[in-house]
Amino acid sequence: MKLSNQEILFIDQYLQKADVIFVDVRSELTDHIASAVEEKMEVEELSFYDAFKAYMVENKKMLLATSRLNFTNYKNGMIRFSKTFIKPQNIFFAIMLLFGFRYLNQLISLEMMSQVLFFMIFLFAFVQAIYTFFIIKKRYLYLENSSSVLLVIYYVNLFSNGFGLHAKNFIGNQFSIGITLFLLFAYVGYCVTTIRKFRIKYS
Amino acid sequence: MGFKFFIPKYFMYKKLMYICNSKLKMKMKNSQLYKGSLNTIIMKLLEENGKMYGYEITQKVKAITLGELHITEGALYPALHKLEAEGLLDVEVEKVDNRLRKYYKLTETGTKETVNRLAELEDFIRNMQSLVNPKLEF
């Protein structure tokens, strides 16, 4: 027995009211619940609402627990990001940075570079927020769990280079700046890949 | 010929039934001993069936173990998402019966990793079998 459009919409709205904010998580849960309800309706000969109620009484807590943005989801973002390090363009960029800093020092001071890094981190966070809230206008866990990576880069920069908004607070050196720049470069590559995959999957 | 070819499929899943973490409904109480094998169960199923969606995986496990093992949603989806993040699974979204359905399938790396993990699990089962019940032969 297949559920109608209205019944699917009912499940979706139920989950929305239960604070399942991410569209991708919600659609997966909707499909899971709908499949279970369809089976229940067929086997136990129940109406949609009875089958839905019976299923949710038993499984609601467990289902909703999987829908929150928690440490496990952030960790998944980190794991996915860590796979980007072995890409040839990132390794090439890291080697270029290693040799390039000898000349880069003469063009721009490390203190100034640290300030630029802070600016870039905030800029990326801002661009991500704009993309989520003004371009796609929906929240996807697949995209948002990558924000943990930017947070880690922010802290790496903070602890290795100092608080970059004031040049006098600079505590880093060319290697710490290089590592942060490399991470940021890898992050941009990771974001582009993630958005591209996301568009293919959810187009 | 590998060890796995001598084990009937049903018997193997009956063994796997005991190998799961605390979030699975199961008979065995000391499940911490076997934590971590849920991923291998998922990968094995995907290797056999090509692509599957979440609910289908729970039902398949239930059917193979004759209802004795039930993977809950709270264990299944975090495991699937982690395997996807690790690059072992890929995702396809399709519109089926008025709704979006997310299918999981093994990547190339995932297929290779499944072979390793199954071999590891089979070694584990064999060793445990030797320790617990040395008289029983496969």
B97 CB within 8 Å of a chain A CB: yes
B74 and A62: CB-CB below 8 Å?
Answer: yes
Closest partner CB to B85 (pick from A3, A8, A76): A76
Distance CA A62, CA B58 (A): 14
Share of chain A above pLDDT 90, in %: 26
Q: What is the pLDDT of residues B6-32, one digit of tens each?
A: 445 544 454 444 444 444 444 333 455
Question: Which residue in A29, A30, A35, A83 has the most chain B C-beta atoms within 10 A of its own C-beta, making it the best mutation to test that interface?
Answer: A35
ipTM above 0.95, yes or no: no
The DSSP secondary structure of B7-55, one letter per residue, reads S-HHHHHHHHTTS--TTSB-S-S-GGGGTT-HHHHHHHHHHHHSEEEHH
Asked if residue A198 has pLDDT above 60, the reply is: yes
pLDDT band at A181 (very low <50, low <70, confident <90, very high): confident
What residues contact B27, with CB distance under 8 A and at least 6 apart? B17, B18, B68
Specify the range with the lowest mean pLDDT, choosing from A112-121, A159-168, A171-180, A190-199: A159-168
Q: What ranges make up the beta strands (E) of chain A?
A: none
Q: In angstroms, how far is CA A78 from the centroid of its own chain?
A: 9
Q: In angstroms, how far is CA B75 from the centroid of its own chain?
A: 12
Mean pLDDT of B68-83: 87
pTM (2 d.p.)? 0.80
pLDDT band at B135 (very low <50, low <70, confident <90, very high): low
Q: What is the pLDDT of residues A103-141, one digit of tens each?
A: 777 777 888 888 888 889 999 999 989 988 888 888 888
Distance CA B108, CA A105 (A): 44
Q: What domains, with CATH codes, occur in chain B?
A: 27-130 (1.10.10.10)
Closest partner CB to B81 (pick from A27, A29, A76): A76
What residue of A is the nearest CA neighbor of B23? A62
